[in-house]
């Protein structure tokens, strides 16, 4: 199908607003496409291939060659059923089986991720494990491997870096890539997306879905329509035609109470919302409503923020994050204070190691605990909000001067933990957050540091070198060995529950 002429009005080309390709295995298009299948949304079965061996288009006048040089081209990549796909990549015998990640059926926990085979049986993320076992008795239940998942995420980011240096790691399982100006190097964006999808499947062994558009929000919408395992593109110049009859729930931010209220008001499509006066949207939904209306109209100028940067010496390094978090869940819940403190020490060790490897220092430290809620609300237990003071407790401290030393961070973290009020309840989760991060180009002020501080800095340097040689799990503090009971230890450390995947 030739690329439509963008000079024509939207109404003249309703059937060519979106180009999409099904997964190569013949998987049927999901309900999202069926629900949104209007004259603006039609899957495409055939796409002309380019024969150039280096991936450059042999005929740039086909799909993207006539676009203006500064035309925005954003690729959004989402890993299908991420944690479940990681388990299937680690254990090939699980492919094609209903995999449920979150714990074992008898454990008090929720489903974190499930494969599409399990979803066909009615299993959904956020469901209790016992309910998932009832719906899917043949399901394979796994606790998840946070270190393996983090490794998969990094490998995908590295592969996307071959398309463009502007790659944003938006979360644990989705990425944005700025493809503006890459048509001569990569050819049409649609075909570049197909190539990188095939490469990720071959090298990383996880399925991905890709959406392409002129903005981040539209690229995310296109990806939702292509799930699972497809590639979809909203053609430049036809965004309004595509959005006019798109069901509103496909627009990011249109869920929850706002989505229910919009449906109650008779606003069912993105086109309906775009026609509502801004004053009415503001008076009813506030700023969040105006943001949603802009997305429904295809207005989104949020740039792709690269997660890595290049130094003056040509070195590629990660951009300074705003904060660094480490959490882990106890299963079963933990009542022994020494085990909780041992987990806190281990999380601090990992966070401090990450600070030094990224040449960062933290100005603030937060310690958080989550308890098991045994109260009964509305006839059931454990229904407290995330900010419920009965189930959540936290303490924070300023670090002056900013620090990256393990011993200093450990001392402050343990002080904060002991300052938290003790409750007659088991601990479900412990976590730390380091914020106010700043670059440490060089170690300054060591001349005036105490001998003990200088010695601890040297200890950290030696530990980092040993871990680089033998893996993080090869060198641990004595306190951390209390975690060996009931936990698997690999060369990269203890296999923790998946909440530790956050940054």
Q: Which residues contact 60 (CB under 8 A, 6 or more apart)?
A: 66, 183, 184, 187
Q: What is the pLDDT of residue 19?
A: 66
Q: Grade residue 22 by pLDDT with cuts at 50, 70 and 90.
A: low
Residue 478 has pLDDT above 50, yes or no: yes
Please give the average per-residue pLDDT across 463-486, as a whole number.
80
- Compute and round to an integer the Cα radius of gyration of the chain: 25
The CATH number of the domain holding residue 108 is 3.30.70.270
Same domain, 219 and 74: yes
Tell me the sheet residues that pair with 168. 176
Q: Across residues 454-458, what is the average pLDDT?
A: 82
User: pLDDT digit string (tens) for 368-385?
Assistant: 998 887 654 443 444 444
252 and 231, same domain (yes or no) = no
Helix (H, G, I), strand (E, B) or coil at 198: helix
Answer yes or no: are the C-beta atoms of 415 and 408 closer than 8 Å: no
pLDDT of residue 467: 83
> What range does the domain containing 186 cover?
8-238
Q: Please give the pLDDT value at position 441.
A: 59
Q: Are residues 472 and 351 in the same domain?
A: yes
Confirm whether 303 is domain-assigned: no
Sign of CA dihedral 366, 359, 162, 18: positive
Band of pLDDT at residue 60, cut at 50, 70 and 90: very low
At 21 the pLDDT is 65
Query: What is the separation of C-alpha 405 from the centre of its chain, rounded to a whole number of angstroms?
Result: 29
Q: Which of 250, 238, 176 is nearest to 212 (CA)?
A: 176
Could you tell me the CA-to-CA distances from 197 to 15, 23, 226 in Å, in that order? 26, 10, 13
Burial classification of residue 502, based on how many CB atoms lie within 10 Å of its CB (0-12 exposed, 13-18 middle, 19 or more buried): middle
3-state secondary structure of 369: strand
Domain limit, last residue, from 264, 296, 328: 296
Neighbours of 81 (CB within 10 A): 24
Is 429 inside any structural domain?
A: yes
Tell me if 305 is assigned to some domain: no
pLDDT at 5 over 50: no
Q: Write down which residue in 220, 238, 256 finishes a domain.
A: 238
- Both 96 and 195 in a single domain? yes
Q: E strands within 291-349? A: 308-310, 316-318, 323-334
Q: Is 224 inside a domain boundary?
A: yes
Looking at the fold, whether 136 and 81 belong to one and the same domain comes out as yes
Which of these ranges, 20-24, 235-239, 330-334, has the smallest mean pLDDT?
Answer: 20-24
Residue reference for tokens 């796409």: 47
- Mean pLDDT computed over every residue of the chain: 80
| pLDDT tens, position by position, 396-436 | 999 988 888 988 999 999 999 999 988 888 898 899 999 98
pLDDT at 30 over 60: no
**Do 179 and 160 form a contact (C-beta atoms < 8 A)?**
no
| Closest C-alpha among 119, 145, 131, 209 to residue 173 | 209
- 262 and 152 assigned to the same domain: no
Q: Are residues 259 and 226 in the same domain?
A: no
Whether residue 192 sits in one domain with residue 278:
no
- Which CATH number belongs to the domain containing residue 278 in this structure? 1.10.150
pLDDT at 54: 45
Across 143-153, average pLDDT: 85
Whether residue 88 is predicted with pLDDT greater than 70 in this model: the reply is: yes
Residue 68, phi-psi category: left (phi > 0), alpha (psi -120 to 50), beta (remainder)? beta
Residues 288 and 326 in one domain: no
Between the alpha carbon of residue 372 and those of residues 210, 279, 318, 430, the distances in Å are 39, 45, 36, 12
Peptide bond into 401 cis (omega under 30): yes
307 domain-assigned:
no
448 burial via Cβ count (<10 Å: 0-12, 13-18, 19+): exposed
Mean pLDDT check: name the lowest of 34-38, 259-263, 334-338, 343-347.
Answer: 34-38
pLDDT of residue 8: 38
CATH code of residue 416 = 3.30.1490.100
Note whether residue 90 is domain-resident: yes
Cβ neighbours of residue 174 closer than 8 Å, sequence gap 6 or more: 76, 77, 78, 79, 220
Using CA atoms, how far apart are residues 353 and 405, in angstroms rounded to an integer? 9
What are the pLDDT digits (tens) for 293-352? 998 888 888 899 888 777 777 677 777 778 888 888 887 788 888 889 999 999 999 899
Q: Is 127 left (phi over 0), alpha (psi -120 to 50) or beta?
A: beta
The whole-number average pLDDT for the span 216-235 is 91
pTM to 2 decimals? 0.72
Let me know whether 37 and 180 are in one domain. Answer: yes
Mean pLDDT lowest among 52-61, 249-258, 414-423, 494-503: 52-61
- Sequence-distant (6+) residues with CB within 8 A of 266 are 272
> Which parts of 81-128 fold into alpha helices (H)?
82-90, 116-119
- Domain-located, residue 312: no
Domain total of the chain: 3
Smallest CA-to-CA distance from 248 within 187, 302, 297, 175 is with 297
Q: Residue 3 falls within a domain, yes or no?
A: no
Do 137 and 201 fall into the same domain?
A: yes
* Residue 390: pLDDT band with limits 50, 70, 90: low
The answer, yes or no, to whether residue 221 has pLDDT greater than 60, is yes
CB 251 within 8 A of CB 221: yes
Mean pLDDT of 150-159: 90
* 206: pLDDT strictly greater than 70: yes
Share of the chain above pLDDT 70, in %: 80
DSSP secondary-structure letter at 214? S
Mean pLDDT value of segment 474-503:
70
Question: Residue 212: is the preceding peptide bond cis (ω within 30°)?
Answer: no
Task: Note whether 282 and 294 are within 8 A (CB).
Answer: no
Asked if 175 and 157 count as a contact pair (C-beta separation under 8 A), the reply is yes
First CA to last CA distance, the chain: 43
* 360 plus 494 within the same structural domain: yes
């Amino acid at each position: 199908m030739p690329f439509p002429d963008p000079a024509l009005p939207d109404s003249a080309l309703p059937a060519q607003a979106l180009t999409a390709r099904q997964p190569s295995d013949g998987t049927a298009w999901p309900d999202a496409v069926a629900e949104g299948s209007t004259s603006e949304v039609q899957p495409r079965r055939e796409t002309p291939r380019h024969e150039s061996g280096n991936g450059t288009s042999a005929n740039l006048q086909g799909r993207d060659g006539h676009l203006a040089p500064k035309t925005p081209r954003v690729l959004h990549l989402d890993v299908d059923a991420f944690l479940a796909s990681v388990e299937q990549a680690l254990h090939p015998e699980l492919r094609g089986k209903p995999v449920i990640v979150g714990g074992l059926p008898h454990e008090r926990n929720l489903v974190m991720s499930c494969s599409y085979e399990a979803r066909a049986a009615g299993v959904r993320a956020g469901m209790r494990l016992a309910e998932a076992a009832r719906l899917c008795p043949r399901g394979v239940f796994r606790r998840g491997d946070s270190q393996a998942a983090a490794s998969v995420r990094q490998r995908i980011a590295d592969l996307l870096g071959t398309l463009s240096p502007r790659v944003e790691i938006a979360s644990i399982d989705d990425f944005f890539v700025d493809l503006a100006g890459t048509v001569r190097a990569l050819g049409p964006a649609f075909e570049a997306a197909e190539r990188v999808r095939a490469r990720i499947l071959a090298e990383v062994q996880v399925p991905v879905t890709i959406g392409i558009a002129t903005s981040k929000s539209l690229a995310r919408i296109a990806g939702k329509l292509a799930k699972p395992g497809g590639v979809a593109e909203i053609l430049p110049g036809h965004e309004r035609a595509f959005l006019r009859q798109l069901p509103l729930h496909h627009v990011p931010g249109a869920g929850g109470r706002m989505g229910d209220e919009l449906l109650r008001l008779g606003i069912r499509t993105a086109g309906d919302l775009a026609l509502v006066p801004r004053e009415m949207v503001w008076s009813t939904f506030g700023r969040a409503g105006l943001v949603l209306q802009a997305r429904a109209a295809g207005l989104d100028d949020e740039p792709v923020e690269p997660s890595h940067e290049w130094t003056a010496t040509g070195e590629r390094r990660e951009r300074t994050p705003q904060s660094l978090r480490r959490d882990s869940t106890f299963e079963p819940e933990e009542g022994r204070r020494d085990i909780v403190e041992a987990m806190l020490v281990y999380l601090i060790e990992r966070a401090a190691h990450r600070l030094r490897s990224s040449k960062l220092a933290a100005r603030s430290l937060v310690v958080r605990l989550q308890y098991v809620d045994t109260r009964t609300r509305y006839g059931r237990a454990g229904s407290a909000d995330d900010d419920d003071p009965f189930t959540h407790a936290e303490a924070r401290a300023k670090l002056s001067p900013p620090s990256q030393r393990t011993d200093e961070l450990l001392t402050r973290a343990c002080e904060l933990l002991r300052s938290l009020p003790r409750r007659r309840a088991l601990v479900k989760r412990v976590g730390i957050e380091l914020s106010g991060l700043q670059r440490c180009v060089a170690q300054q002020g060591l001349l005036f540091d105490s001998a003990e501080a200088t010695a601890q800095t040297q200890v950290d340097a030696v530990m980092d070198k040993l871990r680089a040689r033998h893996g993080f799990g090869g060198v641990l503090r004595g306190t951390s060995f209390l975690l060996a009971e009931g936990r698997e230890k690999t060369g990269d450390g203890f296999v923790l529950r998946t909440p530790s995947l956050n940054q």
